A = this chain, B = another copy of it.
Amino acid sequence: MAPVTGLGEEMHALVERLYPLCRSITGDGVRATLDIVGEYVPLQVHEVPTGTQVLDWTVPQEWNIRDAYVADAAGNRVVDFAASSLHVLGYSVPVAATMPLSELRGHLHTLPDHPAWVPYRTSYYTPDWGFCLSQETLDGLPDGDYEVRIDSTLADGHLTYAEHVVPGQVADEVIVSCHVCHPALANDNMAGVAVATYLARELAERSPYYTYRFIYAPGTIGAVTWLARNAERIERVKHGLVLACAGDRGRLTYKQSRRGDAEIDRVLRHVLRTSERPHDVVEFTPYGYDERQYCSPGFDLGVGSLSRTPYAAYPEYHTSADNPDFVSPEALADTLAVCREAFAVLDRNRRYVNLSPYGEPQLGRRGLYESLGGRSDAKQAQMAMLWVLSLSDGEHGLLDVAERSGLPFDAVAAAADALCGAGLIKA
């Protein structure tokens, strides 16, 4: 793992700041989240009205909540939304009633195997209400009547998502997508939001080859909405990465695109392997995060997903234990570093054509040997030039050259630059 840097701490601070907001697939929690992110990178925020048809889906009513609690006979709030937005079942309809515990139990969600943790539950498309609490709290509740109140609104409104674009030298795009719909969960997915945001800031500083589009949207319905509203843009989306669970202390996991051999897959495999980070590369599966939508067979985009411990594979997943302590600055910095390295490779992975393909061109005559620095560097640079010349047949890109030669991608890219400068190859 990369050493802690100031960036790790900064990203962690952003996670802590975003963490408490009550997000859902619609509503003011998402807007507040995007407001904060907008302080770091300029965002274009989109509001899509309830009822809009998006692919096979319809934008649902907007949900907002002001207060919610369960109070005992003495008026003490034994479960309180103000303490954590997890305590309310997401998309709960309003309720105001008094009922015995026996009746209330049907609306209470706990985690008996983790009695101190509060689960995260939603009911987006089936009207329902409920509370989430720890098993310990539930066990401490005496029988009797309880006041139940959820001051929420389900009404026509909008679905909110945002984009940030880093313009590139070409119109072809790389999308980086992260979901912003989970309430008080840190790793899932304020960690992904933080890494995406800092990545966007870095990219803007280096005039990238591709145009990079960052998408902050609620899970599933948000990605579906973006796809529905960007039909004409899809053709330009050449590569993409979904960022999720980007900050826990586990090893990195790259989930390949449905294609399995998309360029983004090859790039991430290369970077993870050559960086010698502990990591896993896993096959595409049609569940997980929004790669499900980007990789649906009609689109079949070259979009992979980078996380640390993958989707649903850690006990803290979708519980109150996924809090800012579960996320580490080192892990955030390490995930950011992998993204940085991967996009640096992706951005330079061109195919060249050898303009002097019959026999080796005489490198010495062109000063391509003399221009080299130290001895071992010189040897590597010479090998890299020979490899680039050998494989620049229009079939192989620089990543192919790096993989086949075993040379560092940077050395290969530098050789390509030198050969390009000497007029021996062209992109």
Contact = CB atoms under 8 A, between A and B. Distances in A.
B286 A227 contact: no
Interface string A359-401: 1111011000000000000000001001101111100000000
B389 A297 contact: yes
Most B CB within 10 A of own CB, among A293, A296, A392, A393: A296
A404 B282 CA distance: 12
Interface residues of A, number: 43
B391 A297 contact: yes
Contacts of A296: 357-360, 389-390
A263 to B, nearest CB: 20
Contacts of A55: 356, 358-359
Given A365-B125, A392-B297, A359 B287 contact: no
Contacts of A295: 390
Interface centre among A223, A227, A285, A390 (most CB of B within 10 A): A390
Interface string A399-411: 0000011000000
A255 interface: no
A255 to B, nearest CB: 13
Contact of A364 (B125, B358, B404): B125
Contacts of A405: 285
Given A386-B286, A387-B286, A390-B296, A359 B125 contact: no
Copies of this protein, total: 3
Contacts of A85: none
A276 interface: no
Contact of A359 (B227, B283, B358, B389): B227
B297 A390 contact: yes
Contacts of A223: 359
A174 to B, nearest CB: 20
A57 B298 contact: no
Contact of A287 (B354, B358, B383): B383
Interface string A281-314: 0010111000011011111100000000000000
A224 interface: yes
Contacts of A365: 125
Contact of A220 (B224, B360, B393): B360
A56 interface: yes
A258 interface: yes
A360 B223 CA distance: 10
Nearest to A387: B286
A298 B386 CA distance: 14
Contacts of A362: 56-57, 125
Given A125-B365, A293-B360, A298-B357, 4 more contacts: A227-B358, A283-B404, A296-B357, A296-B359
24 contacts: A55-B356, A55-B358, A55-B359, A56-B356, A56-B360, A57-B359, A125-B364, A126-B364, A227-B358, A285-B387, A286-B386, A286-B387, A286-B390, A287-B383, A287-B386, A293-B359, A293-B360, A296-B358, A296-B360, A297-B391, A297-B392, A297-B393, A298-B359, A299-B357
